[in-house]
Structure 1
Amino acid sequence: MKHLVLLLSILLFNTFTSFASDIQISGIITDENGEAIPGVMIFEKGNSAHGTTTNFNGEYHFIVDEEAVVVIRYMGYQTEEILAKDVPQSFKLTQEAQQLDAIEIVGTRSQNRTVTESPVAIDVINLENVTAATGQLDMNQLLQYVAPSFNAQRQSGADGSDHVDPATLRGLGPDQTLVLINGKRRHQSSLVNLVGTRGRGNTGTDLNAIPMAAIERIEILRDGASAQYGSDAIAGVINIVLKKNTDGVAVNVGTGVTSEGDGESANVDVNYGTELGKGGFINLTGQYQHRGRTNRMPEEETFRNYIGDALSTGFGGFVNAGLPLSENTEAYVFGGASVRHGESYAWTREADDDRNVPEIYPNGFDPNIISDIADYSVSAGVKTNIKDWKVDFNNTFGYNEFKYSVDQTLNASLGANSPTSFYSGKHYLSQNVTGVDISKYFDGFLNGLNIAFGSEFRIDTYGIGAGEEASYKNYSDGSVPGGAQGFPGFRPENEVNAQRTNVALYLDIETDITDKWMIAVAGRYENYSDFGGTLNGKIASRYEFSKAFAVRGAVSTGFRAPSLAQKHYSSIFTDVVGGVTMEKVITPNDSELAKALGMPELKQEKAFNASLGFTANLLDGLSLTVDGYYVAIDDRIVLTGAFEDTDPEIGDELKELDVSAAQFFTNALDTRTLGLDVVLAYSFDIDAHNFTTSVAGNINRMELGDITTNEKLTGKEDIYFGEREQMFLLASAPNHKFNYTINHSYKKLATMIRLNQFSSVELMDWDGEIDHYAGRLTTDIAITYSFNPKLRWTIGGNNIFNVYPTKQDPLSTETAGYWDPVQMGFNGAYFYTKFGINF
């Protein structure tokens, strides 16, 4: 089998290059006690795609230029850099546990524990490795293909959601995953997903606001962590760790295009790191990204002329810095800013549509919805060591804003005098968190005890600002639709500036009962100014039968208060239902309209999370992790279906508002999710060829409970949260997703082949029919050639065989195209090239 893989790689990539200066380095890497360390990364500095990892016995070997600098890196240990010709055959790594800036891993606050010793499942994704061999420009789409439990769908015609992909872990809601940067809470987006999208009624975090070139690694904790990091970490935690390197400038330049000749992309990022003072560092990143529109309009008649990705252009910058103030104290700061301009076409208004004015658009028109997104954050703090107690005092502020405008449109009620562009208003969110974290490791208690505790005080603000009057007002007697077509503006009555506070206290204890058995216990109390208090707990354990096999598991509780957006969002927006354009209203649950319908007040979601799994090193170079999980969420918050103006309770009120239907946020049902994560990896060498293969998969099943209403809503369950909305919720993740990857490196050439398998998905269309999307297999490929340690070139393709989802009736889908948004997307093949340069 090994020789077959070798033969295929040679035939595929035709690599017959040799260099007189190349040498083979080999050896064994151990810890300070002489124990072999498997999984240590050894790679050429400036080209992390050219390298290898140690096997189960700590052994490695690979070919490298004798003048190149070799980096030896393993989480929890000091990184070493050595000239290739000087690398010793036996090398000991030094732990960082006693350093002030020791590496902390999400899921454990003990700095004496590595990722493989954690009692819960953690993915660690080295961004430099991944981005060197992929064409994805944004974070959500990148994680979609490298983390099996992560799912994101790119939307089309879904207003602001066209620019921030709804993303989930284990098929749960976008707002049920907590995002951290350097271990500090990241603010969410101000966007509420509403139209034609997964995660309806949810707010998530805009990962694309963080330049990928600023990131060293991403840690994904695939387990409930409300008791450790915050009540909303029901599905897990994504921790983004920023770069701290001080080795000069790295530049990446890339471009790509789909096989249809659209969706052109351009990316330039620059990362610069240098020392700051004595023992300090500063790392700066700048980024420019552009993604052009795609159009996959059906051949037959439809309701839209443009169906596909929106246009997006953005600039961003990030900084990460630390400066020792004394031997035991360090000040640090990190944060950044990004601005992104997006344009997406709304549904077509035909020439004879009563929403058109033929004098302005004799052939009809396609409203162009413009989103200008601004995102800012800064986190500053001081770390110190007081009698072996590590203390971290920090303040983190974040702000996200969406401003909307529409051009190539009109307000039909103004007739031929209508403007063709409008400012439609904005929504914004800010978050300020002040916290202190204290921890100490006691090596004299049993086989080691780590105690961590701390507190946070958080202020959240959410607001809506109105658009210009002509963007929302109907100037006629109601016989002609009013407001800007495509995106009616927010009205003065929609304006809100809501605020709440949250106080949290936590205690986190980990102890090694023996050198094989550890137990972790955590508890967290949070008190919201608008929802009261909640206490969550977690117990986790790991038992190591041998160095080759260990079992791990955890049980925990979780709590998520309704977001400020879910409590206070209101708007009148345009939706298209089976080709019929109508205005809908979303109004808070304490409004008169909601009370007239008997809509219950929002309450918190409650969760129970359990996991059980094992890690195994089956043989030299072969590792396997299997983790099963169960997540029960009661009183899940969703966006209801549409109550129309024929409803006896609210029909008259809707007609007075000149809208056809109303939707509300509500605690509609309980969900139960059962799943399995599997990661199998195998590394081996044949002569100078290094191979790393992996299979990573997620199997996920969600079950929905009975729809929960009150007496006044009895009999309206099919509207309250009907089968169509239920199927959208179930489609948040495919029933299974697997990635099969082969990485091969030989001298200066590195190659990657990845197969992505998505299971079938079923959705209900506007005709009440079930649209079945069959399972699909897509193929990605990348080839990287390193001319020298400072210059590399990559060419590649995603979905190179141009696989599309199953075609549907475009007159009935949510998008009016052949496909609704599903996990694999519907843009077809994408090909790219890029250069990496180090100075």
Structure 2
Amino acid sequence: MKKSLLTPLLVVTALAAHAQNITVTGRVLSATGEAQPGATVLERGTTNGTATGANGEFSLSVSPQATLTISALGFAPQQVPVQGRTTLEVRLVASATDLGDVVVTGSRAAIGRSNVLTASPVDVISAREIKAFAQTDVSQVLTYVAPSFQSSRQTISDGTDAADPATLRGLGPDQVLVLVNGKRRYQQALVNINGTVGRGSVGTDLNVIPTAAIKRIEVLRDGAAALYGSDAIAGVINIQLKDDTTGVQATGLYGQTVESDGQTQQADINIGIGLNKRGFLDIGGQLLNRGYTNRSFADTAPLIYLGDSGGNYPASANTEQARRDLKAQDDALVSQRGFDRNDIRVGQSALRNFSGFLNGGYRLGSGYEVYLMGNAAYRTSHAAGFNRLPTALTQIDLNIFPNGYLPFIDVTLYDQSAIVGVRKTVGGFAADLSNTFGRNELAYNVSGSVNASLPQGPNLVGVNPTSFYAGRLAFLQNTTNLGFSRRFEQVGPLATLNVAFGGEFRVDNFLIGRGEYASYINGGRLLNGAPTASGSQVFPGYQPQDEVNKSRTNLAGYVDLESDISERLLVHLAGRAERYSDFGGNVSGQASARFSIIDGLAIRGTIGNGFRAPSLQQRYFTSTATQFVSGNPRQVLTANNDSPIVRNDVSNSTQPGFGVEALRQEKSTNYSLGLTARFLRTFTLTADLYQIDIRDRIVLSSQFTTSNPTVATILRNTQVTSVQFFANAVNTRTQGIDVVLSERLRLNERSNLGFTAAANFNETVVRSFNSSSSTINNDQTAGTANLQNTLFNRQQRTRLENGNPRSKILLTANYSLDKFSVEARSVRFGEVQTKDQDPVRSNLDQTFSAKWITDLTVSYQILKQVGLTVGVNNLFNVYPDKVIVDPRNDPNNFAVGANSYSSSVDNSNRGRFLYNANQFGFNGAYYFTRLSVTL
């Protein structure tokens, strides 16, 4: 009976409390009376808030006893008690100490600092900057707003077509740590083993995070392994999710290139929900449909139907006239059969991405706060490989593909994560206990292809498969953290002292799953008594012997001290010890300081050591694939580090090997020295020099072939002709400077103007080699077949040193007037280089010159809830330099002889790859329109 009476009483009480809320209206002004549009008005202790309009006006329903927190960029925040009032006028005071964006990355201090007051350089990219232009994913956004960050889409590179490699400060994709809300993000399952930037590395897939869910991105440009652990050699990218929105924000985008391809349809949505003024729930999602682009050129193979497997003149055509006659006959067949010499697709893959991210928090009783985050993503990619001519008889079934074929690799990516945690103050320390689970999986399918080793015949058309399931890669990580932090005031001679300490336990797991039987077998078909190519062409499936399911654990502890020694001096010390179950332990330390010379001018610097643990993928990845070099099949084994082929010495009678040691951690030493300056309250300058030395850097070796007698001995009991593997093979040094200048001006109460100029200049050099192998060190074979020359050949070295731009300059300006705004940006991507693996062909070495890419957008707020943006990326339709093509690959040069397309010439290009993708891509101009709705 009492319960039945109590329930309606509670309901009435709740309704009465809600009815007691009052609506407060007001204006937010500067000290001189200028309206402040876009200022944040928040009921303290809740997620109930709003933003001021064009005239600085706001309206908000709050409790009569509420306190409002009012903040705007460049002004000190104010706490304003309502005290029953329904109208307010608030004047904000400019504050030098609050000018700039408050950051949390790189410090565990209880009170955040602006990015010009930190001991380490941090870039802050706001949600507005993320949406200012037409980049649709995180890696592309960062490429165009953070000069030290670089990512470009790859082409004809297997799984890398679906997962863009990303780098920071010219280092590798696996030497930057990614956090989400300060929690470690797991790596992707994919190992980049193709000829792309980051070859041999395992990065983190940034593009599974929808931009609609992001509040801001903080890029810490400093070594931070002592703070966060493995991978943070180049720096840290911390993605902060939205936690302060209410209502619904949605955008729709359509765009396409100047060539009328690459059509993009994108829909974003973010829903912010307040939870009874005690918490929040933000849900962001993205649907992206991206069309492919094709910038290939006509196939210059001299012969399509009458040549050898690479389209070259046969040895029997040994006179100029014979080659002319054969070319005329072949051209007639090409015309008769309607063969299209545009027989390859060079450009970005077709891709669909569906992703969502949830971020929530809730305050319980007794001082407890629980929080949770989680994401789910599903991505499909349809990417072309190299085409097969009808003369490639060991790689084709002419009954199915009489005119040759273009095979495709279809990648399906699954990504899931869940983070749960609880916070509470214990003994004066802020305690944070959390668990992070993440999993990334890539499943490979091949379409439009054949297994040429299967029996052939007209009666088998429709029976022999043309599509295959080729297997999967999966990586799983579970991380449990417990951390404590407390800020002390006036500790002896110290003005402040922030003490943080904690521990972490992590479990990693890597898995390779086999493909279907037809995707990897050799069906026994012979051609002129010789075997034909095994498995699905373009991507043979993972075999049973490739299957892996390996795990390891890591236990770590850290301590972090930060102190304002005085008003002018800030000191930060950090140390971290880790123990891995598979290779041992590591200790890292870091010391940072910032000293204010005069008001507005300071110097800062860091010295520390770090490390990167070898990934499970690098240690255990293995595969056997058929690759074709100059039209000749080559069975290539990627051997894992535990393989006897890699670990045994060449003298081992059972299975000779290279004698390479077990993978160990990369060790780094980093130094930085910087200057920060602030002038006229709104102009800021930061300049930071840095040097990063890395010892025992892990790389994927070049291919060792049986042309070397030692390799022939090692591979004598296998069916492969080439082998490559991971090793701690090189020591490198990276030096550079980051410079950022920004100016934000409020012209009057109706208009604002902003400028940013930023640049990164860096240089990475290989200082020495560490083969750690007597087999390699003692090899006396002459020329490029020498094992020491092959371990990390000139092509791989150039890719590491010059594959990414050594400089990037970014200039941005934005202007707003009432409902109208315009953004302009120009980015200079520095030069990159390529070299052929054989110095004999140094004539193909090339430097691709620097280019400026200019973007422009115009926006108009049609209604309070509806905005429209139109714009163009790469306004002047700039392309990279064209690739040098070997002059011997001229099909009309009949006088060069029948051997013009010999094994010394790589015919896989044949004039069709005329652009280099490692600067900014080669799609050309891109036009778009975006509609935004806020409810």
**TM-score, normalised by the number of residues in structure 2:** 0.80
Distance in 2, Cα, partners of 1:343 & 1:75: 47
Query: For 1:803-814, what aligned pairs fall within 5 Å after superposition?
Result: 803-809=878-884
The one of 359, 370, 375 equivalent to 1:336 is 375
Query: Residues 205-254 of structure 1: CA distance to partner in whole angstroms, max 9, x if unpaired?
Result: 00001111111011111000000011321111111111112411111110
2:233 maps to 1:234: yes
Correspondence list, 1:442-591, <5 A? 442-445=488-491, 446-476=494-524, 479-577=531-629, 582-591=634-643
- In 2, Cα distance between equivalents of 1:521 and 1:432: 28
Distance 1:620 1:825, change over 3 A: same
1:809 shift after superposition: 3.1
Residue of structure 1 equivalent to 2:469:
423
Instruction: Give 2:90's match in structure 1, choosing from 81, 88, 112.
Output: 88
Label 1:419 to 1:267 Cα distance change in 2 as closer, same or farther (>3 A). same
- Code of the residue aligned with 2:924 in structure 1: it is G
The answer to whether the aligner puts 1:735 opposite 2:810 as a matched pair is no
Superposed displacement of residue 333, structure 1? 0.4
Instruction: Name the structure 1 match of 2:873.
Output: 798
Looking at structure 2, the residues matched to 331 and 443 of structure 1 have their Cα atoms a distance apart, in angstroms, of 28
Return 5+ residue gaps in structure 2 as ranges. Answer: 1-25, 42-51, 61-68, 302-309, 311-342, 649-656, 778-785, 887-905
Q: Deviations over 1:689-721 (max 9, x none)?
A: 321011111000111112222332134222100
Whether 1:625 aligns to 2:686 is yes
- Which residue is equivalent to 2:929? 833
- Report whether the alignment pairs 1:119 with 2:182: no
The structural deviation recorded for 1:153 is 2.1
Structure 1's 265 and 232: CA in aligned 2 closer, same or farther, altered over 3 A? Answer: same
Instruction: Tell me if 1:706 matches 2:776.
Output: no
Matches within 5 A, 1:213-362: 213-299=212-298, 301=300, 305-326=344-365, 328-354=367-393, 355-362=395-402
* C-alpha contact (below 8 Å) 1:743/1:753 kept by paired residues: yes
Q: Give a deviation string over 1:280-304, Cα, whole Å, max 9, x none.
A: 1111112111111000002452686
Alignment identity in percent? 37
Residue 748 and residue 104 in structure 1: after superposition, are their counterparts in 2 closer, same or farther (change >3 A)? closer
Match of 1:136 in 2: 135
Distance 1:655 1:262 in 2: 49
**Which residue matches 1:381?**
421
Aligned-partner SS, 2:775: helix
**Distance in structure 2 (CA, Å) of the matches to 1:79 and 1:660:** 72
- Give the AA of the match of 2:753: F
For residues 455 and 759 of structure 2, what CA distance do their matches in structure 1 show?
Answer: 56
Aligned equivalents of 2:435, 2:683: Cα separation in 1: 43
Report the Cα distance in structure 2 between the residues aligned to 1:161 and 1:353, rounded to whole angstroms: 26
Q: How many angstroms apart in 1 are the aligned matches of 2:30 and 2:36? A: 13
Q: Give the direction of change, closer, same or farther, for the CA distance of 1:506–1:631 in structure 2 (3 Å limit).
A: same
8 Å Cα contact 1:231/1:526 also seen in 2? no
Counterpart-to-counterpart distance in 1, 2:489 and 2:507 = 38
Are the counterparts in 2 of residues 784 and 794 from structure 1 also a CA contact under 8 Å?
yes
Measured after TM superposition, the shift of residue 676 of structure 1 is: 0.1
Question: Per the alignment, do residues 822 and 84 of structure 1 end up closer, same or farther by CA in structure 2, a change over 3 Å counting?
Answer: farther
Contact preservation (8 Å) 1:24, 1:64: yes
> What secondary structure, in the 3-state scheme, does the structure 2 residue paired with 1:43 have?
coil
Amino acid at match of 1:279: R
1:434 corresponds in structure 2 to 480
Q: Which residue of 2 aligns with 1:160?
A: 159
2:690 aligned with 1:634: no
Q: Say yes or no: does 1:754 pair with 2:829.
A: no
Q: What letter corresponds to residue 711 of structure 1 in structure 2?
A: S
Q: Secondary structure at the match of 2:641?
A: coil
Provide Cα deviations, 1:418-440, integer angstroms capped at 9, x if missing partner.
21011000010000001101010
| SS class of match (1:444) | strand
In the other structure, the counterpart of 2:30 is 27
1:535-569 Cα distance to aligned partner (Å, 9 max, x none): 10000000112331111101110111211011100
Q: Distance in 2 between matches of 1:616 and 1:215?
A: 29
- Is the CA contact 1:26–1:62 (under 8 Å) kept in the aligned structure 2? no
The CA distance in 1 between the partners of 2:40 and 2:76, in whole Å, is 18
Tell me how far apart the structure 2 counterparts of residues 663 and 185 of structure 1 sit (CA, whole Å): 31
1:414 to 436, 454, 460: 454
CA drift at 1:404: 0.3
Q: What is the CA distance between 1:656 and its match in structure 2?
A: 5.7
The corresponding residue for 1:780 is 855
Tell me: CA distance 1:546–1:264, structure 2 relative to 1, closer, same or farther (3 Å).
same
Per the alignment, residue 172 of structure 2 pairs with: 173
Give 1:73 shift. 4.5
Partner residue of 1:681? 742
Counterpart CA distance in 2 for 1:775 and 1:763 is 14
1:764 Cα shift?
1.1
Measured in 1, the distance between the counterparts of 2:740 and 2:455 equals: 61
- Of the structure 1 ranges 670-679 and 787-796, higher mean CA displacement relative to structure 2 is found in 787-796
Are 2:39 and 2:71, in contact at CA under 8 Å, matched by a contact in 1? Answer: no
Q: Secondary structure of the equivalent of 2:453?
A: helix
Structure 1 residue 574 displacement after superposition: 4.0
**2:350 and 2:382 in contact (8 A); partners too:** yes
- Partners of 1:77 and 1:661 in 2: how far apart? 65
- Structure 1 residue matching 2:164: 3-state secondary structure: coil
2:754 aligned residue: 692
Uncovered stretches (5+) of structure 1, i.e. residues with no partner? 1-22, 31-39, 47-60, 97-101
Q: For 1:624 and 1:111, how far apart are their aligned partners in 2?
A: 26
Distance 1:28 1:641, change over 3 A: farther
Instruction: Give 1:589 deviation, angstroms.
Output: 2.3
CA contact (8 A) 1:245 1:274 kept: no
* Equivalent residue letter for 2:391: D
- Give secondary structure in 2 for the equivalent of 1:295: coil
Task: For residues 138-166 of structure 1, give each alpha carbon's deviation from its aligned partner in whole angstroms, at most 9, with x where no partner exists.
Answer: 11111000001001121101101001111
Bigger-Rg structure (1/2): 2
Specify whether residues 312 and 723 from structure 1 end up closer, same or farther in structure 2 by C-alpha distance, changes over 3 A only: same
| Cα distance in 2 between the residues matched to 1:574 and 1:244 | 50
Matching of residues 641-660 of structure 1 within 5 Å:
641-651=702-712, 654=715, 657-660=718-721
> What is the one-letter code of the residue matched to 1:804?
Y
**CA offset digits 1:390-426 (Å, max 9, x no partner):** 0000000000000001010000011434210110000
Aligned to 1:202: 201
CA contact (8 A) 1:73 1:79 kept: no
Q: Which amino acid aligns with 2:381?
A: G
Post-superposition offset of 1:353: 0.7
Look up the equivalent residue of 2:471 and give its one-letter code.
Answer: G
Change (3 A) 1:584 1:64: farther
Deviations, residues 53-89 of structure 1 (Å, cap 9, x unaligned): xxxxxxxx99548578998456998799999996533
1:821 is displaced (CA, Å) by 2.0
Contact 2:253 2:266 (8 Å CA) reproduced: yes
Q: Output the CA distance in 1 between the equivalents of 2:717 and 2:466.
A: 26
